[in-house]
Amino acid sequence: MATDINHVVIVGRLTRDAELKFTNNGTPVCKFSIANNQRRKKEDQWVDEAHFFEVALWGKQAESINQYLKKGKQIGVEGQLRQDRWEQNGQARSRVEINASNVQLLGGAPRSGSGEKTEMPDSPEPAGGDKFEDDIPF
């Protein structure tokens, strides 16, 4: 008998800062929203579409990564889709969110607004001590 597969991997940017909360029994849960942009052709023009997904990350990773999940940060999320169902004012309601098992921070470090420049150390000299000329012909 074949088993069902429920696996999602998505890369996108955070739409807001993550929120860390704790359940009644003390389990940490980090909740955030991710936007994933997709480009498709509509008639003879390319159109960008944004898709938004709610994500829940549980446990130790939720506690440790929460401080880095700031609006605009690019991240990768791996997990499963989970559907919550409830009734509100007699209407059946549902919502699908990603139950994350792994979150990866992507891209470089965020730029600080301090205006300070970080200097790179001098490049090592090539073997033999010769420096390269700036006018390389290729």
Look up the domain containing 74 and give its range.
8-105
Residues in the chain: 138
Distance CA 62, CA 132 (A): 49
Instruction: Report if residue 131 sits inside a domain.
Output: no
Please report the pLDDT score of residue 120 as a whole number. Answer: 38
Instruction: Report if residue 110 sits inside a domain.
Output: no
Residue type for position 21? K
Q: What is the mean pLDDT of the chain?
A: 83
Instruction: Report if residue 94 sits inside a domain.
Output: yes
- The pLDDT tens digits of the residues spanning 32-84 come to 999 999 998 888 899 999 999 999 999 999 999 999 999 999 999 999 999 99
Q: How many domains does the chain have?
A: 1
Is the pTM for the entire model greater than 0.85? no
> What CATH number does the domain containing 41 carry?
2.40.50.140
pLDDT tops 90 at residue 135: no
Q: How is residue 89 written in tokens?
A: 């004012």
Cα–Cα distances in angstroms (integers) from residue 122 to residues 49, 69, 83, 103, 119, in the given order: 44, 33, 54, 35, 9
